[in-house]
Structure 1
Amino acid sequence: MYLRKDLIQPRVYQEVIYAKCKDKNSLVVLPTGLGKTLIAQLIADYRLSKYGGKVLMLAPTKPLALQHRESFLKLFNIPDERINTLTGEIPPEKRAEIWRKSVVITATPQTIENDLVVGRITLEDVVLLVFDEAHRAVGNYGYVYIAKEYMRQAKHPVILGLTASPGSDEAKIRSIVKNLFIEHIEVRNENSPDVRPYVQGIRFEWIKVELPEIYKEIRKLLRKMLRDSLKPLAEAGLIDDSSPDIPKKDVLKVGQVINAEMAKGNYEIGKLMLYQAKALKLHHAIELLETQGLSALRAYLKKLYEESKKGRAKSTKELIQDPRMKKAVALLVQAKELGLDHPKLDKLKELIRSQLKKKPSSKIIVFTNYRETAKKIVKELLEDHIKAVRFVGQASKENDKGLSQKKQKQVLNLFSQGEFNVLVATSVGEEGLDVPEVDLVIFYEPVPSAIRSIQRKGRTGRHKPGRVVILMAKGTRDEIYYWSSRHKEKQMISILEKVEDMVKKEKQASLLGFVKSKEKEKGKIKEIKEKIEEKVEVPKEEVYEKLPIKPIFVRRPHGIVIYVDSRELKSQVPKILKELGAHLEVKTLDIGDYIVSEDVVVERKAANDFIQSIIDGRLFDQARRLKEAYLKPIIIIEGELYGIRNIHPNAIRGALTALSVDWDIPVLFAKDAAEVANYIYLIAKREQEERKKEVAVRSEKKALTLADRQRLIVEGLPNVSAVLARRLLKHFGNVERVFTAKESELIQVEGIGEKIAKEIRRVITSPYEEEK
């Protein structure tokens, strides 16, 4: 036994869930604060006691991974040096050593994923793999790849997924179940009979505030402008109607449709992009006004005004010059002079003052969607002599520095110790960090997400009664978002029950299929035995085909070696290359992303990055460096290239043409990471197995071929580019004829006029004089 049972007293529902999940891949859905981690530890103790080996617990962030380690150190009778956390901050070689000696490892998925791809670790001896915040196991998130590798490598695999909410989308829940190889689902909520005795009551209050008249006037102006911007889109059939209540996702979708149509050559529709851009900006402005307040809207309009002065976007300029916008700005100025902001702010201060009056040591969390609003709330509370602190993510934005993970932990510690009464948090406080239990949770605005709503509410009512207050502005999208999240929470429970039933049926079907296949195999073996007894010569291929497990005759591979740039580990391509059988050497490459031979380098570009490299001018500098270092560089573009950005299709076609014709770099197109990987593997196989080429990493220029040297000489002539040098050599056949050609002969080459021809002849024929 590893778990110190003297320190814990599992609740009934934890014991039940443990008993049902200890030997099968399971998903446990349990509200925040009801002991999901202890369930994982009960199963970890059982698995280690039965099989030995290792337990791996994954969490989305480093602070949460460290928090899980602390929990294991406290409750497990294992030496401290054998319970460790692995993150990207630890050097790779040291990570491999820590992995080897550890019994319990907590880690971030990116770290484990990278170490698996390069073969630094194996999951063979892991007897339990825990995915915390399992709702992330979709798409290309690291959980998906790790689960697949685990089920392939482990001798005694069991997966445990933990989440407070997997969401309300059935397709997403099915995807999580599939990606984590789930065989069993355990769902509980606060109203489950075995959970209810342990849940302290959470009192919910919905407080509606009335918007002042000045708000309504500004809102009316912006909604009229939005309707006018939507009208041409509705007339073109891109949206159903021009109602200003249109969801933002529908406006975004219009932009994608317009770009896609332009890519097909329908340039006429491009005129509508102006209206789509205006609609998107106005939609955001109205959302800020309704949910955040006048100061948030003022800051946004100020940003638009600065953009319009620089002439960056026609849509912004037209919005700022619209008389209705000018009137809205005048009303904003008037409101500021009157000291008005969102009425929710006054109500928020009133709630906090009331709570602190009742209990001065209260801990309160205020959740808001916007950093700017969090900053405003903290400023107002500090002016009211209320000890408040802002809690935001790591990313730094313009004039707004983020909090490092170390700083986040410091803030939480101070909040936990009572140095601050109020923590004003953005979404970073909802998931993945050990936010202490609080007396009051306030939603500054509702969120239209079941996952986020459940995570927020789980910060109170764990060990004593809690209170959740949701602030809403009457008649705005606040109310829409609130009812949306309520509906999604209810929907989630029914979908989970449906998916659980599906998992059970699939398991029964697979068991039935397994029994039938066993009977079929017995029949095959009997048939082979009878043939042998009859001394009938059976071809060995036929024997092998009929055996239940066919023998594998492995031809020792030559070993396809591919050098991978370390930054590429963020993509799916290296993982798929590894699955294809390539041996990956990960390095920080100066040039290219994948080196497959001494001659061939591959530069992978996501479609968005390719377009951005055209806009910022990086593309042709990269092309030059690729050509200088490798004889045969290749560019592979991943994803749909047209219709994803507001850039004219001819600009994209021009760049592709220049790469192929001017730089002599082939461009391949792949729909996804799998196709990119298959291209790279095939190229590497041809180069290394068929052409016997070595793999060489270069950062310096490659040795020049004869053709390179000839082009270099001709490029030394005045006004002769690399393209012109090629044309001259093709036209005249060699360097000597280029240098002896007359002006009349030179101007026959495309791109060379009389002026350039004269200058070339002048340089070639003028006497050489030493400069003084």
Structure 2
Amino acid sequence: MNTMYLRKELLQPRLYQELIYAKCKERNCLIVLPTGLGKTIIAMMIADYRLNKYGGKVLMLAPTKPLVLQHAETFRKFFNLPPEKIVALTGEVSPSERVKAWNRAKVIIATPQTVENDLLTGKINLEDVVLVIFDEAHRAVGNYAYVYIAREYLNQAKNPHVIGLTASPGSSQEKILEVLRNLGIEHIEYRSENSPDVKPYVQGIKFEWIKVELPGLYKEVRKLLRDMLRDSLKPLAEAGLIESASADLPKKEILRAGQIINEETAKGNHDLRKLLLFHAMALKLHHAIELLETQGLSALRVYLKKLYEEAKTGSTRASKELFLDRRMKKALALLIQAKELGIDHPKMEVLKELVKEQLSKKENSKIIVFTNYRETARKVVEELTKEGIKAKRFVGQATKENDRGMSQREQKLILDSFARGEFNVLVATSVGEEGLDVPEVDLVVFYEPVPSAIRSVQRRGRTGRQKPGRVVILIAQGTRDEAYYWSSKHKERQMRETIRMVSQAIKREKQLSLESYVKKDTEKEMEREEKEERKGEREGVKVVVDSRELRSEVVKRLKTLGVKIEVKTLDVGDYIISDEVAIERKSANDFIQSIIDGRLFDQVKRLKDSYPRPVVIVEGQLYGIRNVHPNAIRGAIASIVIDFGVPIIFSSNPEETANYIFFMARREQEERRREVRVRGEKKALTLAERQRLIVESLPHVSATLAKRLLKHFGSVERVFTASVPELMKVEGIGEKIAREIRRVITSPYTED
């Protein structure tokens, strides 16, 4: 292989990387390899091979901005290309800049949403992309952008090749098969840390599990809350909405019960409505127990204080009921007692001892503490600071309640400062911060067992000094902590077995006779020709789409139907299909929300004022999703249809919505020959638009005809002074229309 791009001198691929590369350079592969074992290296080797063989471009997709930037850095380091040929594209780069970057680049690393948007708006095409690498490929399910991009890529590219990278493709066979189908994968390369070719490179880390005994006071509060939870669940269990009234019932079961109650109430079955109170109480108690077990007494005290305020003001009936219970009063008294005694979560004391012990052994130690909760992270930093230990918190970008997230810049500054040793303890939440590397750390503590994070720390190759010293996991005995630990063990075993079965299933499919392959190819060819034909037929169908609608599946479906999409920020409507018809699409949830906050009628009025024939499409199941009485919904629908005269179409999913829009657009544009024009915009009209509007006001003159008249006569004045024979020279105007136009222009004006 003549290596033009990859700097082989900087890279010594490991045996398993060479083997996977050889298997995947010519066929669409899913590479399943544990975190930290160099999936990106294999992807770069394949990229190098494809670029040498076909030229063109390589596109690598990664779900988050930090990951995109990280991959771009890796490519710049190992690829012999000028920096402007390796570009990172995220939503922060403006659309026009993205197009320029795309055109000049050889290697593009991007977030999927960015590429999806640019594909939908027709700013880019994938014709000369010779390889797409899907990082975290297990996300290629449902409506995720990967699915649409893969479909478009396999349709558009001259030499398509797909590589998926993941550490865990999912534990169910259906999920893995869905990922494979969506990405067009034909082969899986799977390695675990126990695979013979991987084993020499994996230095498994020994874990210490420290079991923490909960103090008596804790157990007492926990027992009171669990008893109350069981009592709240009993009525739901008796109604057959949940399996049992066990205090260990998963939260999703309780949420599902609430959904059923709402659906049934909407159908007019009001017997279940009284269960909503028990349902709300159960959810609050479930959350309280979770806080107690994972975050401690002070976190629970803050939450119960909030519920107490709700009860006092009477704003929430469920909270009021909970505080009428003597057990809740007793739990509150115990919490106050705990505060006076200075008891919080026993894990905190263990953690402080571990950190102090490490720092006494080595003064400039680097320590990372992982926790699931921001509040716990805040508390850990606070407690360590009290002890005179330098600690900082590291959280995600999202802002939650009164807790501001961290920008990427802030995250980077903190990690750099940690690497330089400016503070000793980094307290990180949601380790799912994909791409947070844990280099040269002396101690790692997991405040709760977080399976995914434990796995990523577990594998540190023998390269460099990448092995963290000591890893400690804290478990509160007899709580969910133990359950989480065992469930993660079970999941990993299940995944291995499932991948083995799926791989065999793919191999069996591969052994189809040659005849069926030929047949498939012929069918594909016919399908492609048919598609081209259909596209040709619909060359004219165009829809103007509101930019906020780009996130919906509807736009992708329209694109698949061959519709030309033009994206604008619309003041009125979501889809404009002609100068007369605008469509407002509302998901069932949004429809109900707009009834509640009063937006609905204002939107419909503006729609009606701007377009002569507006349409509202309501998508999804309307009844039973929110606590809104069905009659209120029916009343709103009746008002839109009767008072405003706007028709409503009910659609069950985005695909059906797209089909409605497509057929309406085709009728307007192909049969009625209407032009697509946006109305109701606040911006001033151009002179040409104003001239066209004046001419359009004449009888039987459409937007297209107005253009023709102005082109023929050259000015509005000449159109208005033209005689009947002169008007008849314009295509589309017969004697009848010409006489009608003259009549309107020349008849004396009399008051109605």
- Fold in common (TM above 0.5): yes
Query: Is 1:15 matched up with 2:18?
Result: yes
Partner SS for 1:657: helix
Q: Cα distance 1:516–1:609, how it changes in 2: closer, same or farther (>3 A)?
A: closer
The match for 1:640 among 621, 624, 641 is: 621
Query: Is 1:680 matched up with 2:661?
Result: yes
Aligned residues of 2:126 and 2:157 also touching (Cα < 8 A): yes
Distance 1:438 1:588 in 2: 49
The letter of the residue matching 1:52 is: G
Residue in 1 that maps onto 2:736: none
Aligned residues of 2:203 and 2:459 also touching (Cα < 8 A): no
Stretch moving more, 464-473 or 44-53:
464-473
Query: Is 1:191 matched up with 2:172?
Result: no
Q: Cα distance 1:256–1:81, how it changes in 2: closer, same or farther (>3 A)?
A: same
Partner SS for 1:286: helix
Residue in 2 that maps onto 1:524: none
Aligned residues of 2:261 and 2:275 also touching (Cα < 8 A): yes
Q: Describe the superposition over 1:288-335 as per-residue Cα deviations: whole angstroms up to 9, x where unpaired.
A: 111211122112212222333443321122123322112111111111
Aligned residues of 2:439 and 2:467 also touching (Cα < 8 A): no
Aligned residues of 1:210 and 1:474 also touching (Cα < 8 A): yes
Partner SS for 2:614: strand
Q: Describe the superposition over 1:97-130 as per-residue Cα deviations: whole angstroms up to 9, x where unpaired.
A: 1111100001111100000011111111111111
Residue in 1 that maps onto 2:679: 698
Q: Cα distance 1:458–1:611, how it changes in 2: closer, same or farther (>3 A)?
A: farther
Aligned residues of 2:85 and 2:104 also touching (Cα < 8 A): yes
The letter of the residue matching 1:484 is: S
Distance 1:376 1:584 in 2: 50
Partner SS for 2:572: coil
Distance 1:548 1:629 in 2: 40
Query: Is 1:234 matched up with 2:215?
Result: no
Aligned residues of 2:85 and 2:105 also touching (Cα < 8 A): yes
Query: Is 1:616 matched up with 2:597?
Result: yes
Partner SS for 1:509: coil
Distance 2:460 2:334 in 1: 39
Q: CA deviation at 1:680?
A: 1.0
Q: Cα distance 1:550–1:257, how it changes in 2: closer, same or farther (>3 A)?
A: closer
Query: Is 1:589 matched up with 2:590?
Result: no
Distance 1:441 1:640 in 2: 48
Aligned residues of 2:201 and 2:462 also touching (Cα < 8 A): no
Distance 1:510 1:58 in 2: 35
Aligned residues of 2:554 and 2:658 also touching (Cα < 8 A): yes
TM-score normalised by L of structure 2: 0.86
Q: Describe the superposition over 1:424-455 as per-residue Cα deviations: whole angstroms up to 9, x where unpaired.
A: 222255424455453433221124xx655534
Aligned residues of 1:165 and 1:454 also touching (Cα < 8 A): no
Distance 1:259 1:509 in 2: 49
Residue in 2 that maps onto 1:472: 475
Distance 2:311 2:538 in 1: 61
Q: Cα distance 1:306–1:299, how it changes in 2: closer, same or farther (>3 A)?
A: same
Distance 1:548 1:576 in 2: 17
Distance 2:519 2:180 in 1: 26
Distance 2:529 2:629 in 1: 57
Q: CA deviation at 1:650?
A: 2.4
Query: Is 1:51 matched up with 2:54?
Result: yes
Q: Cα distance 1:177–1:474, how it changes in 2: closer, same or farther (>3 A)?
A: same
Residue in 1 that maps onto 2:446: 443
Aligned residues of 1:222 and 1:282 also touching (Cα < 8 A): yes
1:656-667 alignment to 2 at 5 Å? 656-667=637-648
Distance 1:246 1:202 in 2: 34
Aligned residues of 1:288 and 1:297 also touching (Cα < 8 A): yes
Aligned residues of 1:629 and 1:698 also touching (Cα < 8 A): yes
Distance 2:194 2:383 in 1: 38
Q: CA deviation at 1:263?
A: 1.9
Residue in 2 that maps onto 1:71: 74
Equivalenced residues, count = 680
The letter of the residue matching 1:566 is: S
Partner SS for 1:664: coil
Q: CA deviation at 1:336?
A: 0.9
Query: Is 1:84 matched up with 2:87?
Result: yes
1:277-356 alignment to 2 at 5 Å? 277-356=280-359
Partner SS for 1:366: strand
Q: Cα distance 1:420–1:495, how it changes in 2: closer, same or farther (>3 A)?
A: farther
Aligned residues of 1:381 and 1:387 also touching (Cα < 8 A): yes
Give me the CA root mean square deviation.
Answer: 2.6
Aligned residues of 2:460 and 2:467 also touching (Cα < 8 A): no
Residue in 1 that maps onto 2:585: 604
Q: CA deviation at 1:556?
A: 5.3
Aligned residues of 1:633 and 1:666 also touching (Cα < 8 A): yes
Partner SS for 1:189: coil
The letter of the residue matching 2:455 is: I
* Runs of at least 5 residues in structure 1 that lack an aligned partner in the other structure: 522-543, 707-772
Q: CA deviation at 1:251?
A: 0.5
Partner SS for 1:609: helix
The letter of the residue matching 1:578 is: K
Partner SS for 1:2: coil
Stretch moving more, 588-597 or 163-172:
163-172
Residue in 1 that maps onto 2:705: none
Aligned residues of 1:335 and 1:341 also touching (Cα < 8 A): yes
Residue in 1 that maps onto 2:747: none
Identity among equivalent positions (%) equals 64
Aligned residues of 1:278 and 1:316 also touching (Cα < 8 A): yes
Stretch moving more, 410-419 or 124-133:
410-419
Aligned residues of 2:296 and 2:345 also touching (Cα < 8 A): yes
Q: CA deviation at 1:457?
A: 4.1
Aligned residues of 2:210 and 2:474 also touching (Cα < 8 A): yes
Q: Cα distance 1:222–1:549, how it changes in 2: closer, same or farther (>3 A)?
A: closer
Distance 2:587 2:162 in 1: 33
* Runs of at least 5 residues in structure 2 that lack an aligned partner in the other structure: 686-692, 698-752
Partner SS for 1:627: helix
Stretch moving more, 36-45 or 354-363:
354-363
Distance 2:244 2:211 in 1: 29
TM-score normalised by L of structure 1: 0.84
The match for 1:505 among 485, 508, 514 is: 508
Q: CA deviation at 1:550?
A: 8.1
Aligned residues of 1:48 and 1:55 also touching (Cα < 8 A): yes
Stretch moving more, 305-314 or 408-417:
305-314
1:557-568 alignment to 2 at 5 Å? 557=538, 559-568=540-549
The letter of the residue matching 1:591 is: V
Partner SS for 1:162: strand
Partner SS for 2:271: helix
Q: Describe the superposition over 1:28-69 as per-residue Cα deviations: whole angstroms up to 9, x where unpaired.
A: 111111111111111111111111110111111112111111
Q: Describe the superposition over 1:686-745 as per-residue Cα deviations: whole angstroms up to 9, x where unpaired.
A: 111111212111225999999xxxxxxxxxxxxxxxxxxxxxxxxxxxxxxxxxxxxxxx
Residue in 2 that maps onto 1:114: 117
Q: CA deviation at 1:142?
A: 0.8
Q: CA deviation at 1:80?
A: 1.0
Distance 1:641 1:301 in 2: 35
Aligned residues of 1:202 and 1:460 also touching (Cα < 8 A): no
Partner SS for 1:585: strand
Residue in 1 that maps onto 2:360: 357
Q: Cα distance 1:459–1:102, how it changes in 2: closer, same or farther (>3 A)?
A: same
